[in-house]
Amino acid sequence: MSTMPVTNNANTEPSAAGTGAGALVLFSGGQDSTTCVAWALERYRRVETIGFDYGQRHAIELQVRPHVLDGLRALSPSWKQRLGPDQMIDLKVLGQLSDTALTGDAEIMMQANGLPNTFVPGRNLLFLTLAAALAYRRGLDVLVGGMCETDYSGYPDCRDETIRSLQTTINLGMATSMAIETPLMWLDKAQTWQLASTLGGDALVELVRTQTHTCYLGERGALHPWGYGCGLCPACELRARGYLAYVQGLS
Ligand code: ZN
């Protein structure tokens, strides 16, 4: 088992890893990855984003992405200056290979192996490997992802040990010295809301609350205190509970 985290979490000091060339953030349009983009914008002079269309049941998280990026640019002149191009990669082959509640119509449930059927096997491994290939071409030396081991759904590809192993494999396989930074790895959802506040104040919290999308079911009807969503799926429950704890922590 791993004992050392890949990153030092909410620390906003410049990273020791990488040469300072810049960061590529895995950006889905959700709360976590939006917070990761803001985190990267505070640390790196050049930040680009990558997203994947893997045949998600609901394309809404892909639709909110450009609006969230525009919102981040509007929050700070230096963020606007640092935030570079966004790439959307067609990865529908992943949806063809897997049979999960995120890519099909199956009801969300726990499987016999102890993993929820929202787990898409190989997803983060593919995302990070493809992101590394793009970073290689773009001359970026840090990958940033919102993987989290603290408050997560038990996905094995969110584990710090998995990410550290993949970082080693990528650097061996590409003869690079890329760093994979996971600023949320040891944070719970309330601390992720708090991190957004630390990075961008109430304006960033409000952007995350009203513009990002987390709900597994793609529900975007009513705006709840914690944002849009069905309120019942595991992603909404986690987000809502975290927001409540964050707000209670303020008072
Ligand atoms: Zn939901």
At 100 the pLDDT is 65
Q: What is the pLDDT averaged over residues 160-185?
A: 96
Count of structural domains, the chain: 1
- When pLDDT is cut at 50, 70 and 90, the band that residue 54 belongs to is confident
Containing domain of residue 164, as a range?
A: 23-188
Q: What's the CA-to-centroid distance between 231 and ligand 1, angstroms? A: 5
Q: What percentage of the chain exceeds 70 in pLDDT?
A: 84
With a cut of 80, say whether residue 250 has pLDDT above it.
Answer: yes
Q: What's the CA-to-centroid distance between 192 and ligand 1, angstroms? A: 18
* Burial class of residue 29 (count of CB atoms within 10 Å of its CB; 0-12, 13-18, 19+): buried
Mean pLDDT of the chain: 86
CB atoms within 10 A of CB 222: 9
Q: What's the CA-to-centroid distance between 32 and ligand 1, angstroms? A: 15
With a cut of 60, say whether residue 2 has pLDDT above it.
Answer: no
Q: What's the CA-to-centroid distance between 115 and ligand 1, angstroms? A: 18
Q: What's the CA-to-centroid distance between 67 and ligand 1, angstroms? A: 20
At 6 the pLDDT is 42
Q: What's the CA-to-centroid distance between 229 and ligand 1, angstroms? A: 5
Residue 241 lies in a domain: no
Q: What's the CA-to-centroid distance between 213 and ligand 1, angstroms? A: 9
Q: What's the CA-to-centroid distance between 175 and ligand 1, angstroms? A: 41
With a cut of 80, say whether residue 97 has pLDDT above it.
Answer: no
Indicate the pTM of the whole model: 0.87
**128 or 103: which carries more pLDDT confidence?**
128
Q: What's the CA-to-centroid distance between 237 and ligand 1, angstroms? A: 7
Q: What's the CA-to-centroid distance between 157 and ligand 1, angstroms? A: 22
Q: What's the CA-to-centroid distance between 207 and ligand 1, angstroms? A: 18
Residue 101 lies in a domain: yes
Nearest to 98 by CA among 56, 132, 156: 56
With a cut of 70, say whether residue 120 has pLDDT above it.
Answer: yes
Which of 97-111, 140-154, 179-193, 206-220 has the highest average model confidence (pLDDT)?
179-193
Residue 83 lies in a domain: yes
Q: Which tokens go with 124?
A: 């983060």
- When pLDDT is cut at 50, 70 and 90, the band that residue 176 belongs to is very high
Q: What is the pLDDT averaged over residues 220-241?
A: 91
With a cut of 50, say whether residue 221 has pLDDT above it.
Answer: yes
Q: What percentage of the chain exceeds 90 in pLDDT?
A: 63
- When pLDDT is cut at 50, 70 and 90, the band that residue 12 belongs to is very low
Q: What's the CA-to-centroid distance between 251 and ligand 1, angstroms? A: 27
Q: What's the CA-to-centroid distance between 126 and ligand 1, angstroms? A: 25
At 106 the pLDDT is 65
Residue 146 lies in a domain: yes
At 246 the pLDDT is 95
Task: Please report, for the domain that includes residue 119, its CATH number.
Answer: 3.40.50.620
Q: What's the CA-to-centroid distance between 236 and ligand 1, angstroms? A: 4
Among 45-54, 144-153, 164-173, 189-198, which is the least confidently predicted range? 144-153
Check if the beta carbon of residue 146 is closer than 8 Å to that of residue 239. Answer: no
